[in-house]
Structure 1
Amino acid sequence: MSMTDRNDAHSVPRLVLLLGGARSGKSTFAERLATQSGRSVAFIATAMATDEDMRDRIARHQSARPDHWQTIEEPLHLADALRQAAAVADVVILDCLTVWLSNWLFSQGDAEQLERDTISAQHYAGALQEIDALLQGISELEPGKTLIVVTNEVGLGIVPAYALGRVYRDVLGLVNQRVAAAATRVYLMIAGLGVDIKRLHETATL
C-alpha cells in the first residue's frame, strides 16, 4: 500500500483493514504503513492492563512506537476515540478490534452470564451497532484522513467448546465482515506479509 500522494487528499484510502492470526505481523505492518505515509499519526490502544502479562505486552508495544505519535487509550468507545485521534493526526491506527470486542462483551455482563447460550442475539446486535457508529465516524472524517484497523481472524480453527468462545468467534466474524465491506483495502497478514485480498476479490471472475 502507498499513502505517499500527499498532494491529492482524495486519493488517500479512508479505511484500511489488516487481519490475520496471532503473531502474523499485523501491528508491525500497520505501523509501517503509517510511518511510510509521512503524515502525522495517532494510535488508539484498546488493551487494558488487567494482569502482569498484559502490562508487559502494553509496555513493549508502547516502547516500539515513535515518541511523537499521539496515543489514545480507549477500551470501549471507538467512535469517540476516532474523533479525538483524527483531530490531532492524519493517520489513525486502531489496534485492535479483537481486544475491543472482548472488552465490550465483558462490559455487558459477568463471565457466568456470558457463558450462557442465551446472550447471542443481543450481543450480535449491540456489537454491530458500535461498529456502525465507528464506520459512520469514518465517513465524516475530513478528506486525507486514514484509519488503519487491526483485527484477528479467529474463524479458521476448530469450533470453540464453550458458549462464550462460540459467541465471541461469531460476533468477531460479523464485525470483521462489516469493516471489510467498508474498507478501501483489506490485507490478510501471513508470516509478516500482507496480501491485498480486497483487490483480489474485486478482480475475481469465473
Structure 2
Amino acid sequence: MIWMITGGARSGKSRFAQEIALEKAENPIYVATARNWDEDFNERIKRHKLDRDERWTSIEEEKKPSQLNISNRVVVIDCATLWLTNLFVDEKNNLDRCLELAKQEIDALAEVPGVMLFVTNELGMGLHADTEIGRKFTDLQGWVNQYLAAKAEKVTFMVSGLPLNIK
C-alpha cells in the first residue's frame, strides 16, 4: 500500500510521515534518497537523522528502493524529489527516460507488501523556474506526482504542518 504525502517545502511532510510510521510499527524503516551533494546538504542530512531515534532502521538508497528488503514493513521513503533529482542528473536531464524509470520503480513499490509512506514535493505551486532545466524538472516532478497519486491508496497534502486528506 502506497500512502503519498505531498506539500511545499517545510510543510511538515517528513514529520507527518514519521508520526504515521511510528503509529503503525514499533520499528519502521526510513529510506533516505538524498545524495550528499555539498556541505549544506550534509547539514540537512544530519538534521534529518536527528529526527529519528533507535526505533528506526535507516537505509540510504538513491534510486531503487523497491530492491531493498522491505516486504511487510512500514517504510518512509523520503523523498521523491531527491530521488528524481538523482535520476535526472544520472540520465542527463532526459525527461522521457526519467519518467519511464520513475514509473517502473513506483510500479515495483506498489507490488511490495507493506505500507510505503512516500514523501514528495509540490514544486509547481511556487515560483516558476527561470531556467530550462528547472522547468523540465518541475514538469517531471508534476508528472511523477500524478502517477504516484494514481497508484496510492491514500494521499495527504500538508499545509503549514496540517494534514489535508485528498484520497
Q: Distance in 2 between matches of 1:16 and 1:53?
A: 29
CA contact (8 A) 2:14 2:119 kept: yes
Q: Percent identity?
A: 35
State the AA in 2 paired with 1:101: L
Q: Distance in 2 between matches of 1:39 and 1:182?
A: 26
Q: Distance in 2 between matches of 1:146 and 1:20?
A: 20
State the AA in 1 paired with 2:164: V
The structure having more radius of gyration, on CA atoms, is 1
Q: Which residue of 2 aligns with 1:19?
A: 6
Moved more, 18-27 or 132-141: 132-141
Q: Which residue of 1 aligns with 2:77?
A: 94
Q: Which runs of 4+ in 1 moved over 3 A?
A: none
Matches within 5 A, 1:124-163: 124-142=95-113, 145-163=114-132
Segments of 5+ residues of structure 2 without an aligned counterpart are none
Deviations 1:116-155 (A, max 9, x none): xxxxxxx33222222222233233223xx10000010011
Q: 1:63 to 1:157 in 2, by over 3 A?
A: closer
CA contact (8 A) 2:25 2:74 kept: no
Matches within 5 A, 1:174-185: 174-185=143-154
Deviations 1:54-73 (A, max 9, x none): 11111111121122311111
Q: Distance in 2 between matches of 1:54 and 1:135?
A: 25
State the AA in 2 paired with 1:66: D
| TM-score calculated relative to the size of structure 2 | 0.92
RMSD: 1.6
CA contact (8 A) 1:96 1:150 kept: yes
| TM-score calculated relative to the size of structure 1 | 0.76
Q: Distance in 2 between matches of 1:175 and 1:25?
A: 20
Segments of 5+ residues of structure 1 without an aligned counterpart are 1-13, 115-122, 199-206
